[in-house]
Chain A
């Protein structure tokens, strides 16, 4: 395993970046550069001329890398996506983890395996954490919204909390909408009227 392999990681999230870079360092790679912004991506990559580029599949900047792949001669010198095309399982694992790697210059695919192994595991973990966080955050926001809507109904109708919630739920069911959406509509309408 060569430590001189140069790797660029494109990632805007600072926490994710740290985890990925750490895992690559642990795997024995030291020449790692992080590009946090999409602006000027192609220029910065071509200036650095790395052996490998790792990019989050959820990033729209992936399409910019396709352009670079094209520019470097798509047939003679394939700028391979992920790893060896014959290694379907690793490619699949990488895609499922939401990571894609571009080999920028004739790098032997066998040398990428360990990089991806390390990165894929981390990406999986980070992705799961991100989904959990997002779900929790949304649930909290919706809870707050529903509480405000309940408060409005209690005040306007002089009913207790349970009755207010029952009314919200019934309205949502009748209209085929989510309780949170009905609550949002009510809070917005109330805001307009006061």
Chain B
């Protein structure tokens, strides 16, 4: 490897793939950076390393930099979202005991209909539902709260929410600490494979194209190192495009499975990248289109309205001022850098920086700086929309 050194942190999950591919397939090297990757044991440690300058960039839960912009978590350094690395990729699972009760009540695990799945889960719950999420500020938590909230539970007040690191999720379920979880791939599949749980829904059934992970850097670093920022973004955008091509899937799976990265069975990783998901220990297979998305339809574009949506929900739960929270969250989404740095690669560049979130039930064509952009459906299962201007 040659080039300017840039170190990035990641959590060993399938959606760390763009960073791993950028390094291993050589996009980083082509852009003139020597990208070093460092696995972190927890999201909070990853965030602290980034804020303190031990690493320059990180694969991060979308709501984490937003939370930081609202003064929640960490030591207070401003983090910027350079781009979205992946959409969806989570799954909701239930314990085998819960699954048995749901089946006994006549529910068939279709792994598709969020309303029916949620109603069946709520009906089968005795007492308070205990759910595991990987981090308090995560799309996992936001999706769960929206889903169950829409179906009549007060979320999170009516839930017992436990923070459980992804590698420990299956164990927490085996030890009867949680009845359900929402977790990133491949940990849902691992709960199935170890026989402790069954999968109920892909995250995409609750909201299509929900942004899940982002590339985050310190604001100060992006300002001080515009050239490295540009190179890093270009390498990762190209890695995302490479990952979106089906012919590269096998290679991607093998790369991710390596000991330095996920150190997990290639088959578990393949399920997420292919969308062929085994949902129960009996081997029932469900096919999900766009289970996890890295590219296409402006997937990487850091819409300020997405951050505003998360900020609005966090502000509502924690009693913060809504308008200033939305403004602070929008400011960290670097649509300006996305446009400046990726235009000549042919990236989709919407003309607007914000939109109404969840409004597309069919593909929508919008004006773009590089020609028209087609935005695929991004609707919530219940038709809820978020208008950042409202």
Give chain A's interface residues, CB within 8 Å of chain B.
38-40, 42, 57-67, 69-70, 74-75, 81-82, 85, 91-92, 95-96, 100
Contacts and interface: CB of A to CB of B under 8 A. Distances in A.
B55 to A, nearest CB: 11
Nearest to A39: B175
Interface in B128-178: 134-136, 161-165, 167-168, 172, 175, 177
Given A62-B42, A63-B42, A66-B163, A91 B75 contact: yes
Most chain A Cβ neighbours within 10 Å, of B49, B163, B168, B175: B163
Contact of B71 (A66, A75, A100): A75
B257 to A, nearest CB: 15
Interface string B34-51: 000000011111001100
B73 interface: yes
Contacts of A63: 42-44, 134-135, 163, 165
Contact of A62 (B44, B172, B175): B44
B74 A81 contact: yes
Nearest to B164: A64
Given A60-B167, A62-B42, A64-B165, 4 more contacts: A62-B45, A67-B162, A70-B72, A75-B72
A66 B136 CA distance: 7
Interface in B285-325: 318, 320
Contact of A60 (B75, B165, B318): B165
B135 A66 contact: yes
Contacts of B168: 38, 60
Given A66-B44, A95-B52, A74 B74 contact: no
Interface string B74-91: 111000000000000000
A95 B51 CA distance: 11
B251 interface: no
B54 interface: yes
B163 A91 contact: no
Contacts of A67: 136, 161-163
Contacts of B42: 57, 59-63
Contacts of A66: 43-44, 73, 135-136, 163
A59 B48 contact: no
Contacts of A65: 44
Nearest to B134: A63
Contacts, number: 77
Nearest to B43: A63
B54 A95 contact: yes
Contact of B52 (A61, A64, A92): A92
A75 B318 contact: yes
B41 A60 contact: yes
A66 B167 CA distance: 17
B135 A39 contact: no
A81 B75 CA distance: 7
A91 B52 contact: yes
Nearest to A75: B71
Contacts of B45: 57-58, 62, 100
A57 B48 CA distance: 10
Contacts of B72: 70, 74-75
Contacts of A58: 41, 45
Nearest to B48: A95
A40 B161 CA distance: 13
A42 B168 CA distance: 15
Nearest to B53: A92
B79 to A, nearest CB: 15
Contacts of B49: 95
Contact of B76 (A39, A85, A95, A96): A85
A184 to B, nearest CB: 12
B190 to A, nearest CB: 15
Interface in B172-206: 172, 175, 177
Given A40-B177, A60-B168, A75 B320 contact: yes
Nearest to A69: B73
B165 A61 contact: yes
A181 B106 CA distance: 51
A70 B136 contact: yes
Contacts of B177: 39-40
